[in-house]
Chain A
Amino acid sequence: MNNISNEITVNINGELFKFQGNVTILDILDKLNLANSKGIAVAVNMQIVSSKDWKEYIVSNNDKIIIIQATQGG
């Protein structure tokens, strides 16, 4: 049952996702086809994570991740 201990659950924009092993923010964006999106920003547990840190930042079990982009508004 090694791989179970290795599994983490994170909340991304209100939905739960499961990942195996050490996963960086860039890995997550890649899996969500957002790695090359322009104009997005990421926060983990209410702290902004700058895009230059996405490659190194490893998420933890139960992290709350918010990914935002610009939309129409006044």
Chain B
Amino acid sequence: MEDKLVIADKSFSSRLFLGTGKFSSGELMERAILASGCEMVTVALKRIDMRGQNDNIMQYLNNKSLQILPNTSGVRTAKEAILVAQMAREALQTNWIKLEIHPDPKYLMPDHIETLKAAEELVKLGFVVLPYVHADPVFCKQLEDVGVAAVMPLGSFIGSNRGLKTEDFIKVIIEQSNVPVIVDAGIGTPSHAAAAMELGADAVLINTAIAVATDPVSMAESFKLSVIAGRKAYKAGMSYSLEHSMATSPLTPFINDL
């Protein structure tokens, strides 16, 4: 039986999602997305440059099977997030939104009070809401209660590549959640991604680790394989962990008995 991930009304064969930031060119991003096998990518929104310097990222994302997940990055309040979500829906013809409200530019820590307010309102407005949050199990349940489609707890600082610093709390979130858990932010290597999947995360979202690699296309494929491996290991049921040895070969006494 195929191991599909279902978020809202859409099912995904790949449990790897990509962010589109920081790629050195649109062509490279397009090739990395293809190599990753991913079926959902995030995009940001920006004000159009009135002086005419406007890239058109969408020309590289025109694969119809690719779910576009616009984010609300840059907003500071729930009110702004709601407006940006509505603009994203208008511009990109999707009601999916990655809700991220992080007013502090240094640490990009999510503001949970504003996030909860915005999530509640956006759900009422018919959005499929995927909020970026601290690895806070209580807050994830509160978001679930207002109707979000998934939760996206951070592994460590956005763009830091530091890995699963929040592992203990991610475990609790996974244990308790009735919506998919997508580990977002901080995953820096394929082994981090595999570790998140082994914990039982439903998916991971990777951006910097792929976009800024020396060879983003090859790194995208590495992440693809690690996510598959981690998921398979989780499904297979992991063996135990001990503080001492347990022999894997028979400890037959050969010499002394002679």
Contact = CB atoms under 8 A, between A and B. Distances in A.
Interface of A: 12-15, 32-34, 38-43, 46-48, 50-51, 66-74
Contact of A13 (B47, B56, B88): B47
Given A38-B58, A48-B90, A72 B83 contact: no
A66 B47 contact: yes
Nearest to B91: A41
Contacts of B158: 74
A31 B79 CA distance: 30
Given A48-B86, A73-B20, A74-B42, A40 B48 contact: yes
Interface string B11-46: 000000001111100000100000000000011111
Contact of A70 (B19, B49, B57, B208): B57
Interface string B59-77: 0000000001011010000
Interface residues of B, number: 39
Contacts of B71: 73-74
B42 A43 contact: no
Contact of A71 (B45, B84, B90): B45
B43 A14 contact: no
Contacts of B88: 41, 70
A72 B50 contact: no
B87 interface: yes
Contact of B47 (A46, A48, A68): A68
B205 interface: yes
A32 B87 CA distance: 19
A56 to B, nearest CB: 16
6 contacts: A32-B48, A38-B58, A39-B91, A72-B23, A72-B29, A74-B158
B58 A73 contact: no
A69 B48 contact: yes
